[in-house]
């Protein structure tokens, strides 16, 4: 078969715009809504944003282009695509490790992501019921601790989240994933803008903007630069197979370069809008903006509970979080589902059931990490913390480095030019230099920092 005639047996996106929505959905998650604004505020405001944008341009976009081109060139699961591309470029089959690492990492991440998504689902109902109306900080903290300490409750919400996720994935590329993102992503942007509009009424919108965007170069350090690099890499969902499998569904006339830029802009835009929505509410209630994950489930419920219309907008906020979680979760399991279809020859529904059940079972370890297994430690970490460390600090950076090396050094210039379709030789050379030299070194530094060697 001619390489240009390769087609994914799983279908393809109906348009370039749909792919942008899907890939942005994969990139946008719970981390965008909390982590990026928090890092921005703690690391010099707009000075950090500027560093982040530079890192996205020099690291994130070139790596995303590389991962999409691997997916579109292989037109299969990440594992099989890397097998095909290794053969095409006469290199060792061990390069399939890129596909294996991404596929397994996606499944591991979803196993605990589903549990956190379940928390979000539960908090929608708590907000609608008015649980936090007039709540104190102590009440919100006790409510959260009681909730996560109840293994039966977490079990139910984790199950509901996974069932809905696999229901979407079982529908296929156009029948499930595409329909979902065409509804979920506009909903996400609408809810974000609604929340920003609400924050404008708090009287602290200016202070929120100042917190996010006033540059404080005194806070710029080696650690903050590493934070910007790490966030640029992880925020775009690189190295976990999702961008590669989504890339395999991209029509061949779609520009990988311009599409990658649009995804990066949309992903950063969501993160900044989230900060503009959250921090004015935090300041209006004299709350601590740097309170970490507790900001979402303990601090903000108190803020909404004390504000006019807080029950409505608190509920909308958790719906927004849920939408962000779902757009990521459907992409995390897709590589494993397609691998089962190709390997076992089963239907997509069967593959979704198998992969969903396996991921759900693994997720029980995270459910119990907060209650029944709270005292059970592996290398000093709970089961949940261990999974998070292995995936975020080891598997994803290593996957990103290998993607850069394979696309930059082992694939022929003819192959990469054919996929990227960059007619300007200077732009192509710039991409090649970034993906060959800058990206692998930068991600390796992020890896060393993540495992405590820097």
**Domain edges within the chain:** 3-450
Distance, in Å, from the CA atom of 225 to the CA atom of 217, rounded to the nearest integer, reads: 12
Which pLDDT value is given to residue 5?
61
Distance, in Å, from the CA atom of 72 to the CA atom of 256, rounded to the nearest integer, reads: 10
> Which distant-in-sequence residues (6+ apart) come within 8 Å of 110 by Cβ?
165, 329, 332, 333, 359, 363
% pLDDT > 90, the chain:
65
pLDDT digit string, tens, across residues 128-154: 999 999 888 889 889 999 999 999 999
Distance, in Å, from the CA atom of 403 to the CA atom of 416, rounded to the nearest integer, reads: 13
Distance, in Å, from the CA atom of 295 to the CA atom of 282, rounded to the nearest integer, reads: 9
Distance, in Å, from the CA atom of 36 to the CA atom of 272, rounded to the nearest integer, reads: 8
Residue with tokens 């192509």: 428
Asked if residues 119 and 148 have their Cβ atoms less than 8 Å apart, the reply is yes
Q: Please determine, for residue 3, whether its predicted confidence score (pLDDT) is greater than 70.
A: no
Asked if residues 385 and 392 have their Cβ atoms less than 8 Å apart, the reply is no
pLDDT digit string, tens, across residues 202-215: 889 999 898 888 88
Residue 360 token pair? 């759900």
pLDDT digit string, tens, across residues 362-402: 999 999 999 999 999 998 999 999 999 999 889 999 999 99
Residue 213 token pair? 């965007």
Provide mean pLDDT across the span 82-95: 95
Provide mean pLDDT across the span 417-426: 91
Provide mean pLDDT across the span 89-95: 94
CATH class of 3-450: mainly alpha
Distance, in Å, from the CA atom of 55 to the CA atom of 169, rounded to the nearest integer, reads: 32
Distance, in Å, from the CA atom of 119 to the CA atom of 186, rounded to the nearest integer, reads: 23
Rg of the chain (C-alpha set): 21
Binned at pLDDT 50, 70 and 90, residue 33 comes out as confident
pLDDT digit string, tens, across residues 257-280: 999 999 999 999 998 998 898 888
Residue with tokens 């394979």: 406
| Higher local confidence (pLDDT), 127 or 37 | 127
- Chain center to CA of 244: 14
């Amino acid at each position: 078969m001619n390489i240009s005639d390769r087609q994914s047996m799983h279908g393809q996106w109906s348009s370039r715009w749909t792919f942008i929505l899907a890939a942005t959905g994969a990139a946008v998650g719970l981390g965008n809504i909390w982590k990026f604004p928090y890092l921005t505020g703690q690391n010099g405001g707009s000075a950090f944003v500027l560093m982040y944008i530079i890192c996205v341009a020099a690291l994130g976009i070139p790596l995303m282009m590389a991962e999409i081109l691997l997916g579109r060139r292989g037109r299969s699961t990440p594992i099989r695509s890397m097998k095909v591309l290794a053969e095409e470029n006469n290199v060792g089959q061990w390069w399939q490790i890129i596909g294996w690492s991404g596929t397994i990492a996606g499944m591991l991440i979803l196993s605990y992501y589903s549990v956190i998504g379940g928390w979000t689902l539960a908090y929608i109902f708590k907000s609608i019921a008015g649980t936090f109306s007039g709540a104190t900080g102590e009440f919100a903290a006790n409510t959260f601790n009681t909730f996560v300490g109840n293994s039966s409750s977490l079990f139910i919400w984790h199950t509901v989240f996974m069932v809905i996720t696999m229901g979407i994935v079982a529908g296929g590329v156009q029948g499930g994933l595409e329909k979902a993102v065409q509804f979920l992503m506009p909903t996400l942007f609408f809810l974000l803008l609604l929340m920003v509009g609400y924050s404008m009424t708090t009287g602290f919108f200016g202070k929120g903007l100042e917190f996010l965007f006033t540059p404080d170069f005194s806070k710029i350090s080696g650690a903050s630069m590493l934070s910007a690099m790490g966030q640029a890499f992880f925020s775009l969902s690189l190295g976990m197979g999702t961008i590669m499998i989504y890339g395999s569904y991209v029509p061949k006339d779609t520009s990988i370069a311009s599409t990658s830029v649009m995804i990066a802009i949309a992903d950063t835009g969501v993160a900044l809008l989230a900060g503009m929505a959250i921090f004015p509410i935090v300041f209006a209630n004299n709350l601590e903006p740097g309170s970490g994950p507790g900001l979402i489930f303990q601090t903000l419920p108190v803020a909404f509970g004390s504000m006019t219309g807080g029950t409505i907008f608190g509920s909308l906020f958790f719906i927004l979080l849920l939408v962000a979680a779902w757009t990521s979760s459907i992409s995390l399991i897709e590589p494993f589902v397609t691998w089962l279809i190709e390997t076992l020859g089963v239907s997509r529904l069967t593959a979704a059931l198998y992969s969903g059940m396996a991921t759900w079972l693994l997720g029980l370890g995270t459910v119990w990490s907060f209650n029944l297994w709270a005292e059970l430690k592996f290398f000093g970490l709970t089961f949940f913390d261990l999974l998070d460390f292995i995936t975020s600090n080891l598997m994803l950076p290593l996957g990103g480095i290998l993607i850069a090396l394979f696309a930059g050094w082992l694939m022929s210039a003819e192959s990469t030019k054919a996929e990227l379709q960059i007619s300007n030789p200077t732009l192509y050379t710039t991409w090649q230099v970034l993906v060959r030299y800058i990206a692998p070194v930068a991600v390796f530094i992020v890896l060393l920092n993540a495992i405590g060697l820097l």
